[in-house]
Amino acid sequence: MTHPGWFITLEGIEGAGKTTAAAVVAQWAKARGTAVVQTREPGGTPVAEAIRQIALTAGEESLAPEAELLLMFAARAQHVRAKILPALATGATVICDRFTDSSRAYQGAGRGLDAALIETLAANVEQGRAPDLTLLLDLPVEIGSARAAARRGSAAQDRFEQERAAFFERVRTGFLAIADREPRVVVIDAAAPLAAVQVAIEAALNQRLGAGG
Ligand code: T5A
């Protein structure tokens, strides 16, 4: 029996393995007969990808934290209306690499911006469609940073990658606080070897969304 699409988000600090996890989730969903749309934030549509460039590119002018927050939500507003909701309406499963929890963790916990403002923006931008399941890939900051650096090679760091470890510690703590209060969030030990991470992700999908299909 097929299932109408799920909205599944992947979260975590840099180098947590979200890109790798997205492939596992996509395979799981396809095996249950749903079409799959894989996307990312900030980005996912041409306009939102253009906003991503502004938000992530390290330039001469430093970006005000409030501007950073509004850019993330500007990209999200476009992404939700132009891609996520239409895909879910066709019955597809949408797998999104980062969503509103990243704003809560990076701009809220990381930058110290007002949580109430973030929730007001989220309530308006999400259009009443929160994720069905969020997989939080959690690992120590030093392991994530080392993985991200190894993958980046000689390419330049983006604005976020230039942040210090203390920033990412706040972001990680922020993500774990969301997991504590939101039942939709499952924490995955992302420091484990890839095969173990894959098993944990499949177990979470089966437990939360059903093993049938
Ligand atoms: N942002 C975003 C905000 O501040 N607010 C917001 O609202 C939003 C939406 C986006 C940036 O924007 C910020 C957060 C980010 O700084 P991004 O494109 O999501 O950036 O970039 P990153 O999170 O930096 O993505 P990465 O590609 O670095 O991390 P991933 O996707 O989590 O990691 P992945 O899968 O590419 O893996 C990294 C490396 O580790 C290896 C992989 O093979 C790869 O080489 N790896 C493992 N190695 C050993 N064991 C495992 N278990 C492994 N899993 C992966």
Mean pLDDT across the chain, nearest whole number? 95
**What phi and psi values does residue 134 have, to the nearest 5 degrees?**
-125, 125
Residue 63 lies in a domain: yes
Give the mean pLDDT of 189-197. 97
Residues with CB under 6 A from ligand 1: 12, 14-20, 41-42, 56, 72, 97-98, 102-103, 106-107, 147-148, 151, 160, 190, 193-194, 197
The pLDDT score that the predictor gives to residue 3 is 64
SS3 call for 39: strand
Residue 30 lies in a domain: yes
SS3 call for 120: helix
Say what the pTM is.
Answer: 0.96
Residue 197 lies in a domain: yes
CA triplet 68, 74, 77: central angle to 5 degrees? Answer: 140
Are 52 and 43 within 8 A, CB to CB?
yes
Pairing of strands 185-189, 36-40: unpaired
Residue 1 lies in a domain: no
Question: What is the band of 210 on the pLDDT scale with cuts at 50, 70, 90?
Answer: confident
Residue 186 lies in a domain: yes
Range of the domain at 97: 7-208
Residue 110 lies in a domain: yes
Question: What is the band of 136 on the pLDDT scale with cuts at 50, 70, 90?
Answer: very high
Which has the minimum average pLDDT: 64-68, 80-84, 115-119, 161-165?
Answer: 161-165
**Helices (H) then strands (E): counts for the chain:** 9, 5
The pick from 100, 160, 164, 178 for probing ligand 1's pocket by mutation, whose C-beta has the most ligand atoms within 8 angstroms, reads: 160
Q: How far, in Å, from the CA of 106 to the mean position of ligand 1? A: 13
Residue 213 lies in a domain: no
Q: How many domains does the chain have?
A: 1
Question: What is the band of 4 on the pLDDT scale with cuts at 50, 70, 90?
Answer: confident
